[in-house]
């Protein structure tokens, strides 16, 4: 396979030869007209599903998993973490077990979905902070429960989102960290002290910072400021134009600098037409343009767009350049999760996305690898 494109970091036209999944040759080319950009494919740490299928759905099938993965690849997402949200023990166990069986039988899918994210159920049960997570299933951390899920996942749970104020959260974070699981702070009303203690215990990142919290917070002592001020924490953001206004995106990008990563947080309703749907045991509404809310409220419930829209969004909302936006979507999530970071160089794995930028929108042409 010969790919002619402009690498995202330099813009200099190159012909890339790909053989058996590796870049085997690079050569300059004089023909630059109409060439797409090329970059490491996007790695999204938080995909809940799409097109009405979700990883915690009771009727999830291997065909559903492949449909979700192939839909994501159409948006430049070469790798992602299937994300299971707050639910009963049995529902989460069933979701992880189904994923494990599916990946065991499909090596291609196993490469595309290298690790899992457990977002809950150890989150705040308070309105606003819990977002669309069902209150009746939010609960305190339980190591034995988690271990049973990790067994069902065949050890693939690589990230867990936790609210540090839950009883037993700190020793739970310490045990996760010792087991090489990345701990994220999210859906929380934790105090500054609780957040700092969580970081000391091993928490490494924030899940969709600026969301998963009440619409109104104390002016100074609140979990957003505290996580922003903590230099040790990475932070994912949803730059879809709905979850965060431009001023907040700019502040997070400037404050976190080289510790920002993008997630689209695609919900199970992503890609569906406007209307009301029953999801996660709650009535949801897809609004024109793709915004998803808990029906009749202002509370967002995942995203209706994918990572390509968030790459364009962080450039538009946050004022960052293409190289930085790609780094947030492709490089930094892999680094955080301990996944190999592909480079555009001879001998490297060809995990690539080719795309155009047209009037500020990103249009994916092809995903390789």
Report, as residue numbers or ranges, the catalytic residues.
265
Distances (CA, A) of 331 to 55, 104, 121, 231, 341: 25, 26, 28, 19, 6
Is 208 annotated as belonging to a binding site?
yes
Check: CB of residue 46 under 8 Å from CB of residue 117: yes
203 marked among binding-site residues: no
Query: Angle at Cα 86 formed by Cα 81 and Cα 90, nearest 5°?
Result: 95
| Strand 275-279 to 282-286 pairing | antiparallel
222 is in an annotated binding site: no
Q: In whole angstroms, give the CA distance from residue 332 to residue 230.
A: 18
219 in a labelled binding site: yes
Strand-pair partners of 184: 161, 205
Flag whether 39 is marked binding.
Answer: no
- Across 37-119, the runs of DSSP E, i.e. the strands, are 37-40, 42-47, 49-50, 53-54, 77-85, 116-119
Closest CA to 209 of 193, 226, 232, 192: 226
- Is there a binding annotation on residue 187? yes
Q: Is 312 marked within a binding site?
A: no
Nearest to 86 by CA among 36, 140, 44: 140
Residue 193 assigned ligand-binding role: no
Contacts 24+ apart (CB under 8 A), 184-187: 184/159, 184/160, 184/236, 185/161, 185/223, 185/227, 185/233, 186/119, 186/123, 186/161, 186/162, 186/212, 187/119, 187/120, 187/123, 187/124, 187/129, 187/130, 187/131, 187/133, 187/161, 187/163, 187/212, 187/213
Ligand-binding site membership of 360 (annotated): no
- Contact yes or no for 6/168 (Cβ under 8 A): no
Q: Is residue 117 a known part of a binding site?
A: no
Q: Residue 39 and residue 148: Cα distance in Å, rounded? A: 38
Residue 357 among known ligand-binding residues: no
**Do you find a cis peptide bond into 308, omega within 30 degrees of 0?**
no
Which residue ranges are tagged as binding site for substrate? Answer: 132, 211-212, 219, 243, 300-302
Annotated binding site for Zn(2+): 119, 187, 208
Sequence ranges of the binding site: 119, 132, 187, 208, 211-212, 219, 243, 300-302
């Amino acid at each position: 396979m010969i790919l002619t494109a402009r690498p995202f970091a330099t813009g200099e036209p190159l012909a890339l030869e790909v053989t058996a999944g590796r870049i085997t040759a690079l050569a300059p080319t004089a023909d630059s007209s109409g060439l797409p950009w090329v970059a490491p494919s996007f790695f999204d740490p938080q995909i809940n599903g799409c097109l009405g299928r979700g990883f915690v759905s009771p009727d999830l099938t291997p065909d559903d998993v492949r449909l979700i993965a192939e839909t994501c690849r159409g948006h430049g997402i070469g790798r992602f973490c299937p994300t299971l949200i707050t639910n009963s023990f049995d529902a989460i166990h069933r979701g992880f077990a189904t994923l494990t069986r599916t990946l065991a039988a499909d090596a291609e899918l196993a490469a595309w979905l290298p690790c899992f994210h457990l977002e809950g159920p150890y989150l705040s049960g308070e309105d606003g902070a819990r977002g669309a997570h069902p209150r009746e299933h939010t609960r305190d951390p339980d190591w034995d429960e988690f271990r049973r899920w990790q067994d069902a996942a065949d050890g693939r749970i690589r990230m867990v989102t936790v609210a540090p104020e839950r009883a037993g959260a700190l020793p739970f974070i310490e045990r996760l960290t010792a087991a090489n699981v990345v701990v994220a702070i999210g859906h929380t009303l934790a105090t500054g002290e609780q957040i700092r203690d969580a970081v000391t215990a091993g928490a490494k990142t924030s899940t969709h910072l600026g969301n998963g919290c009440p619409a109104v917070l104390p002016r100074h002592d609140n979990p957003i400021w505290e996580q922003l001020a903590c230099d040790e924490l990475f932070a994912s953001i949803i730059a879809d134009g709905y979850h965060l206004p431009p001023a907040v995106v700019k502040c997070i990008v400037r404050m976190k600098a080289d510790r920002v990563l993008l997630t689209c947080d695609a919900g199970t309703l992503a890609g569906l037409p406007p209307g009301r749907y029953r999801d996660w045991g709650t009535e949801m509404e897809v609004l024109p343009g793709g915004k998803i809310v808990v029906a009749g409220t202002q509370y967002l419930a995942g995203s209706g767009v994918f990572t390509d829209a968030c790459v364009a969004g962080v450039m538009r909302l946050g004022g960052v350049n293409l190289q930085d936006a790609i780094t947030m979507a492709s490089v930094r999530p892999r680094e955080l999760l301990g996944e190999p970071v592909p480079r555009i160089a001879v001998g490297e794995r060809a995990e690539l996305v080719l795309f155009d930028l047209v009037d500020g929108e990103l249009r994916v042409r092809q995903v390789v690898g």
